[in-house]
Amino acid sequence: MTLKVLIVDDEALARSRMRTLLSECTDPRADVVGEGSNAVQAMEQIQRTGCDLVMLDIHMPGVDGMALAATLRGMPAPPAVVFVTAYAEHAVHAFELEAVDYLTKPVRRERLQQALQKVVRLRSASETSQDNGLPESLIIQERGRSERVALADVIYLKAELKYITVRTADKEHIFDGALSDLEQRYSHLFVRVHRNALVSRRAVRAVEKHNDPVEGEGWTVRLDGVDERLAVSRRQLAAVREALMS
């Protein structure tokens, strides 16, 4: 597979170095389809030519990389995002935006190669089941082995920093991917309850109000198959209630 990559950084030298590093990657290969020095240029490139992956700086004039990543999430088929920055302290926010990876400058080729492989695994895992005519599933790669987990068995998907916890009735798996991509592809199976969690539509059994002594009044969702309850944001409350009724 060859990934179509857009490089977005306000420093020309940083863009040149990233282009060179990408040219040295072979597994997978990366084809740089464009560059941008700010968010406006990046959006113009994406709308004009499209891409599979955006290598994105954070600190840029005007709209910063975090805001651009949030905008990309709203696209019908958003590209994957890998942040490339000199500032390690933004990592938590980056993964809340469901970035595939977060690289700190100066980037090593080996580390960049790993990030590209993450992007490919995410794309391949989401495409495998439909391409083979098999029941929809995720390919979980853990501790040197691969396992197919049917999405019909998944109760919830929860973003945990760099990874996603895939919860079934009897086990937890770790999946290397982005929650937004799973939401887009499997919206018929899952509903978002919070910025960091999707739950199986079939597993929703109740939406309940609760009072937290610290955070105050809020909502949780009760699910078949697990005892724990997940928080429901006010923004997602209507969608979760609709899933319950249907």
Q: What is the pLDDT along the chain (246 residues), one digit of tens a residue?
A: 799 999 999 999 999 999 999 999 998 999 999 999 999 999 999 988 889 999 999 999 999 999 999 898 878 778 999 999 988 887 777 777 778 889 999 999 999 999 999 888 777 655 554 555 555 788 888 776 778 888 989 999 999 877 899 999 989 999 988 888 888 888 889 999 999 999 999 999 999 998 776 666 889 999 999 999 999 999 999 999 998 887
**Residue among 120, 98, 116 nearest 108 (CA):** 116
- Yes or no: say if 25 and 113 are a contact pair by the CB < 8 Å rule: yes
Residue for token digits 């005892």? 227
Between CA 102 and CA 83 the distance in angstroms is: 5
Q: Are 84 and 105 in contact (CB under 8 A)?
A: yes
Separation between Cα atoms, residue 24 and residue 152, nearest integer Å: 40
Q: Please, what are the domains in the chain?
A: 2-127 (3.40.50.2300), 135-245 (2.40.50.1020)
Distance separating alpha carbons of residues 107 and 103, to the nearest angstrom? 7
> Length of the chain in residues, anyone?
246
Is residue 52 left, alpha or beta, with left meaning phi > 0 and alpha meaning psi from -120 to 50? alpha
Radius of gyration of the chain (CA): 19
| Residue 195 DSSP class | T
Residue 170: partners with Cβ closer than 8 Å, 6 or more residues away: none
Map residue 232 onto helix, strand or coil.
strand
What pTM does this model have? 0.57
Q: Please report the pLDDT score of residue 215 as a whole number.
A: 63
Angle 7-10-16 from CA coordinates, rounded to 5°:
50
* C-alpha neighbours within 13 Å on the C-beta side of residue 12: 0
Cα–Cα distance for residue pair 175/126, rounded to 1 Å: 11
Predicted pLDDT of residue 77: 79
CB neighbour list of residue 175: distance below 8 Å, 6 or more residues apart: 125, 138, 140, 157, 163, 164, 165, 166
| Contact indicator for 205, 218 with CB cutoff of 8 Å | no
Q: What is the CA 89 to chain-centroid distance, rounded?
A: 19
